[in-house]
Amino acid sequence: MIKLFRESGFCMINNLTGWSRQQTAALVLAGFSPCLVAADYGEEHVAVAPFVAEMQAEHGFPAQYVTRLLAQAERKQSIIDAISRPAERVRPWHEYRKIFITDKRIAGGVEFWERNAEALSRAEQEFGVEAEVIIAIIGVETFYGGNKGSHRVIDALTTLGFDYPPRADFFRRQLKSYLVLTREQQVDPLTLTGSYAGAMGFPQFIPSSYQAFAVDFDGDGQVDIWNNQVDAIGSAANYFAEHKWRHGATVAVPATVTGDQFREGLTIEEGLEARRTVAELKALGWDIQHELADEDEVMAFEFDADGKMEYWIGLHNLHVITRYNRSVMYAMVVHQLADLIREAKDQ
C-alpha cells in the first residue's frame, strides 16, 4: 500500500511497506494519481479537521502545522490489538505474576538502587515514598529503562484517539497534551517513542501525567524522563506523593474466607473505588491476617494462584498504586516486587 503525506499543498510519496520510489514513480507515470491515496490521518480523515480546530483555538497551534503533523502519523492495528487485550485482563494472577516477579528483575532492582542511591534517598526524604516502591514501578514499567517502548508516541495517540472508539476522547486529550509538551520542551513530536498507549520514559508517563507530575530532580533546567534516571526517580516519587502515598503504611495483607457470602465483599465486582469496612468484611466471612480497625475502609479481592485461590485486603497505599494502572494485579506485583527488592538489598 502506498501512503502519502500532504505538505504545503503537495502530495509527497512515502515508502512504508516495501515499495521503492522507482516502483511508485512508475505507477504515477502509468496514470495512477498519488493524490487519490490519503495518509492515514490526512485531511480526509473525519476526525482531523475538528482536532486541528481545537488545537488552534485552545493552544494557539497553527492549523497548517497540526495538519501536516497528523498526516505523518500512521495508524497501527497492532496498537489497537494490544490495548484491547492487556495482560492484566487476559492472564490469571499466577501467569501475570511470573512476568514481573523474577530473579532477574529483583537483581536489576538492587543494581538500579545501588546506581541511584543518592537520588532515591533524596526522593524518599522530599516526597515520602520508599525507594523500593519507586524502583518497583520503574522495574515493572520498563525493566529499569531496558524497554521504554518502540512505538512512535504520535502514532499511538493518533491511532487510539481517532480509531479506538472505546477510549477515543481520552486519547485525543492525551494527544493534545503531547503536542503541548513537545512544544514546551522543544522536541520534535515525530521522534519520541513509548508504549502502545503513548506512555513515555523510564516511568512510562502518559502526556497529561508528564505535565502534572514530571520534575527536574537533578536541577539541570530540563525535565527528561526519557534518558535521565534522576528526573525519572523524582517524577515517579512526585506522582505517588501527589496521590497521597503514606510513607511506611501497610499496602496489602492476606486473608482467608469462609461461607458463601464472602464474594459480596469483593472490590473487583464493583470497581476499584468500591470500599468495605473491615467490620463488613468480617460479617461476610473474611478473616484478615492483620490487625485492622473495624471502621477501616479497604479493598477485598481474590486471585487465581494456579489451582487455589488467594484472598487479599488492599489498604490505602495499594489504591494509590492502582492510580498508576487501574488493576489490582498490577498494584500487587509492584508491591511484591518492592518488598523482594528491599529484602534482596538488605541481605
- The residues annotated with a catalytic role in the active site are 141
Cell 514499567 belongs to 141
Torsion angle in degrees (nearest 10) through CA of 3, 6, 7, 13: 30
Q: How many angstroms separate the CA atoms of 6 and 12, rounded?
A: 6
The length of the chain in residues reads 347
Q: Among the residues of 215-315, which ranges form H helices?
A: 229-242, 278-283
Which secondary structure element, helix H or strand E, spans residue 271, and what is its range?
A: none
| Beta carbons of 315 and 252 less than 8 angstroms apart | yes
Q: At what angle do helices 328-346 and 131-142 cross, to 10 degrees?
A: 120
Torsion angle in degrees (nearest 10) through CA of 154, 155, 161, 163: 160
Name the residue among 64, 323, 327, 69 with its Cα closest to residue 208. 323
Q: Please, which residues bridge with residue 256 across strands?
A: 287
Cell 505535565 belongs to 211
Q: How many angstroms separate the CA atoms of 314 and 274, rounded?
A: 11
Half-sphere exposure of 36 (CA within 13 A, CB side): 6
| Beta carbons of 113 and 347 less than 8 angstroms apart | no
- Which three cell numbers, joined as nine digits, stand for 95? 501467569
C-alpha distance from residue 225 to each of 29, 36, 81, 205, 326 (Å): 48, 41, 27, 8, 22
